[in-house]
Amino acid sequence: MINLYSDTATRPGPRMRQAMAEAEVGDEQLRADPTVNRLCERVAEMLGTERAMFLPTGTMCNQIALRVHCEPGDEVILEESAHNRHYETGAPAALLGVSHLPVAGNAGVFDAAQLKSSIRPAGHHFPRSRVVLIEQTANLAGGTIWPIETLEDVCRTAAEHGLKRHLDGARLFNAVVAEGVPADRYCRAFDSVWIDFSKGLGAPVGAALAGSEEFVERAWRFKHQFGGAMRQAGIIAAGALYALEHNIERLREDHENAALLAGGLAQISGLEVDAPSTNMVFFRTTPGGLGASELAERLRRRGVAVSTMADGRLRAVTHLDIERADVLRAVETAQGCLE
């Protein structure tokens, strides 16, 4: 199977497994796991924050950060395609009593003027605008990148209006590699940031939430409360450390493979393809032809997995376990499905 379903499909290779097998461990919830501690120090250093905390998933990072920033009745301003709004089972509403105010951006990106017009006026009728959430890269918008100037501008406006700034950096390093903007520059504009180890970085489990000393200390309480305090988590943290060491620069290959895939698919009549920004290729079948789910099913039967979106788009994601030859075969297979 050529698995383009998601960059979560990666399997740990022999060297990552070896690092995991040999990891020094302790009790993570007593903050006594040396490998987890080393990972957190490394993350804080790379992101330019005072502290970082290891968590099992990015979904938990989002909820814990919003829990620190918000009270029930508060509102989070985010782009309408944001993962936190669509793919986290309504957690902000269910767990935090927090609502979303979606902004219609352009390719997942909105500007300071749009933010400003979304901020609630003072007044006892309104939810309190509390957080602006930015997703870098913007997954459902196409793996698109927030330009650093726009991101800084939006965060500056947010700060001027007393809003907290939260970065969903599930794929932050894809933007770092594509733009040549260092991670700490992106993170500087935020009160809280997180990165995912189980996406393009290729580790099996884990994410890290980072921010000031005070933010992370408060977040520790909710890490316990939400069930994210672990025990000998150094085993999985070792995979994350390995990923930070070896799998960032190579994200370029994923971007090259995505461009190759998009170029190939665009040659096939019956498909419309968006130009990729990073490692995601979104495409659709032309109206009147094969339906999206039918194409996905045909691809799957011939050994290529992609995902179908609620709006009829298909998504193919390149990653560590996909090579150039796989991309060429996937294009050929798609061609065969549409003949």
* Alpha carbons 197 and 10: distance in angstroms, whole number: 11
Nearer to ligand PLP, 46 or 134 (CB): 134
Nearer to ligand PLP, 19 or 60 (CB): 60
* Alpha carbons 237 and 23: distance in angstroms, whole number: 8
Piece of the chain touching ligand PLP by CB under 6 A; list 55-63, 142-150, 225-233, 318-326: 55-63
- Tell me the CA distances in angstroms from 108 to 72, 182, 266, one per residue in order: 27, 21, 22
- Using rule CB under 6 A, residue 79 touches ligand PLP: no
The two structure tokens encoding residue 199: 């996406």
Of these, 168, 191, 274, 326, which contacts ligand PLP (CB under 6 A)?
A: 168
Number of amino acids touching ligand PLP (CB under 6 A): 12
Of these, 83, 85, 100, 319, which contacts ligand PLP (CB under 6 A)?
A: 83
- Using rule CB under 6 A, residue 174 touches ligand PLP: no
Of these, 28, 74, 75, 135, which contacts ligand PLP (CB under 6 A)?
A: 135
* Alpha carbons 108 and 88: distance in angstroms, whole number: 18
Neighbours of 92 (CB within 10 A): 25
Q: How far is the CB of 238 from ligand PLP (least distance, A)?
A: 18
Residue of closest CB approach to ligand PLP: 58
Start-to-end C-alpha separation, the chain: 21
Q: How far is the CB of 199 from ligand PLP (least distance, A)?
A: 6
Piece of the chain touching ligand PLP by CB under 6 A; list 64-72, 115-123, 196-204, 285-293: 196-204
Q: How far is the CB of 276 from ligand PLP (least distance, A)?
A: 15
**Residue 29 has what DSSP assignment?**
G
Q: Are 198 and 37 in contact, with CB atoms under 8 Å apart?
A: no
- Using rule CB under 6 A, residue 59 touches ligand PLP: yes
Q: Are 26 and 335 in contact, with CB atoms under 8 Å apart?
A: no
- Using rule CB under 6 A, residue 57 touches ligand PLP: yes
- Using rule CB under 6 A, residue 278 touches ligand PLP: no
Q: Are 281 and 274 in contact, with CB atoms under 8 Å apart?
A: yes
* Secondary structure in 3-state letters for 68-89: HHCCCCEEEEEECCCHHHHCCC
Applying CB under 6 A, the residues found at the interface with ligand PLP are: 57-59, 83, 135, 139, 168, 170, 196, 198-199, 207
